[in-house]
Amino acid sequence: MRKAAALVAVAVVVAAASIAVRQRLREAKRWARAAAVLWDLQERCALPAARLLQVSDAMDVEMRAGLASEDGNKLKMLLTYVDSLPSGDEKGLFYALDLGGTNFRVLRLQLGGKEQRVIKQESVGVSIPQHLMSRSSHELFDFIAAALAKFVASEGEDCHLPKGTRRELGFTFSFPVKQTSISSGTLIKWTKGFAIEEMVGKDIVAELNEAIKRQGLVMKVSTLVNDTVGTLAAGRYVDNDTMVSVILGTGTNAAYIEQAHAIPKWHGPLPMYGDMVINMEWGNFKSTHLPLTEFDQALDAESLNPGEQIYEKLTSGMYMGEIVRRILLQMAQEAALFGDNIPPKLETPYILKTFHMLVMHHDASPDLKTVGIKLKEIFEIENTSRKTRKLVVDVCEVIATRGARLAAAGIYGILKKLGRATDRLEKRRTVIAVDGGVYKYYTFFGGCMERTLSDMLGEQLAPSVVIKPVDDGSGLGAALLAASYSQYLQSGEDF
């Protein structure tokens, strides 16, 4: 009896050991598959120095093509008609209106010249009722102008408007526009939920000016800009060596100062100072040298604009979190990364924001506790091991590194076009103004981009190129441009 019991006990132990061995083997295979996906991702997203130079060379080529003609180019290289940037001498009271979506802001700026600079800055945000987004242009702009009039009415006694002058407004309008002068542009199409068809093809500045008149306001729009041009203006106001601006946020774009004689498609009179700001619309850059994976190709194919904005889909806050989600989903499908069942929420497109990605990537706790919390909050994935969490962090790092290095290559391409990426006896200082949530809050991304650009420039040239963060280019920059053009006009010169 005892012998039989012993044999049974041995059999149980052997069976348990066998199950344990099989589980360990299964676990090892699972991790091997997950590691293989990560290794393949790292290989396909890699951007060694030679490839970075190929990307920047392609950017340079596309910039020249876009400056030569209007049609058929990846980079639009839009003429902004901005040929006078803030110098710091500006004085007076100026306003800005920043309309970029379902909310808008109005801003008031009191400038005191070189000595006092920005004396006072005030702003207020307003939400646009949904019904106005598809009604008439009169109703929309009357609502905006009424909010502007209310804000103007709140001017304090310290707001000084010189006698005989009227209030001037810089207008940041972040929708597709064909600009026809510094203060005019026709709407190409609405985006972001707006659908006022009667406005398409009309001058949006004229519409706003008419609405302002209907409010009885003595004010006129003096400049029409986008947020990237505003960022360049804000950067130039604090540092006269600012030549380039870059937005790295939900979307991405760049602008820079170009010599008019290097713009073959410009057929108007030469700008007074010989330069003009170019809005690159670089999010649409595309090249065979970009490191695309099957995840990027699937995201692009399923997007609202397949085949377009490829560079933006690799570098911006709108898309990086979604790429990470797609990679984690494949790991869950092929390697059971989160257990035998695929978490349903992991299959929901765009549920993982780039903000979530950066929070997990920045987790410095020994057990990566924040990663575990985010996986539970977003995907309802519970009880993850540290090994699993580390793999998630590794995926975030690959995608952020690729995006940051590509952004650096793009900046290097601009510097090359400007002749500021080669060693010269006399090195000119060049400042790049940068704004946007990805750069501002994703510190790994910003640091990686800066290190990559420094490496590309080399130790001799890198110290002469400075990246400077700029806040609120879309608001502050628009008001500063209104000030700049106010002084331009008061000097009696044409522009």
End-to-end CA distance of the chain: 107
In the beta sheet, which residues pair with residue 435?
247
3-state SS of the chain: helix, strand, coil percent to 5?
Answer: 50, 15, 35
Q: What gap in Å lies between CA 259 and CA 245, rounded to an integer?
A: 16
**Both tokens of residue 232?**
């360049």
Beta-bridge partner residues of 331 = none
Residue pair 105/475 in contact by the 8 Å Cβ criterion? yes
Alpha helices in 119-220 (DSSP H): 137-152, 204-214
Q: Is 164 left (phi over 0), alpha (psi -120 to 50) or beta?
A: left
Residue 222 appears among annotated catalytic residues: no
Assess whether 227 carries a catalytic annotation. Answer: yes
Beta bridge partners of 248: 252
Given 60, 83, 84, 105, the catalytic residue = 105
* C-beta separation of 194 from 134 below 8 A: yes
**Cβ–Cβ < 8 Å for 276, 229:** no
Rounded Cα–Cα distance for residues 457 and 468 (Å): 17
Nearest to 290 by CA among 197, 407, 163, 461: 407
Task: Pick the closest to residue 59 from 78, 44, 79, 74 (CA basis).
Answer: 74
Helix (H) or strand (E) holding 387: helix 386-417
Q: Which of 56, 137, 174, 222 is catalytic?
A: 174
Tell me which H or E stretch contains 179.
Answer: strand 177-181
How many CB atoms neighbour CB 132 within 10 A? 17
- Select from 95, 228, 231 the least CA-distant residue to 166: 95
C-alpha span between 256 and 90 (Å, rounded): 22
Contact 453, 467 (CB under 8 A): yes
Q: Which two tokens stand for residue 429?
A: 């200082």
DSSP 3-state assignment of 463?
A: helix
- Angle of the 443-457 helix axis to the 49-68 helix axis, nearest 10: 90
The answer to whether 134 is a known catalytic residue is no
- Identify the sign of the CA torsion 241, 76, 281, 172: positive
Tokens for 315?
A: 């570098």
Q: Which residue is catalytic, options 60, 227, 300, 435?
A: 227
Sign of the dihedral through C-alpha 246, 252, 257, 261: positive
Residue 266 burial by Cβ neighbours in a 10 Å radius (0-12, 13-18, 19+): middle
Known catalytic residues? 105, 174, 227
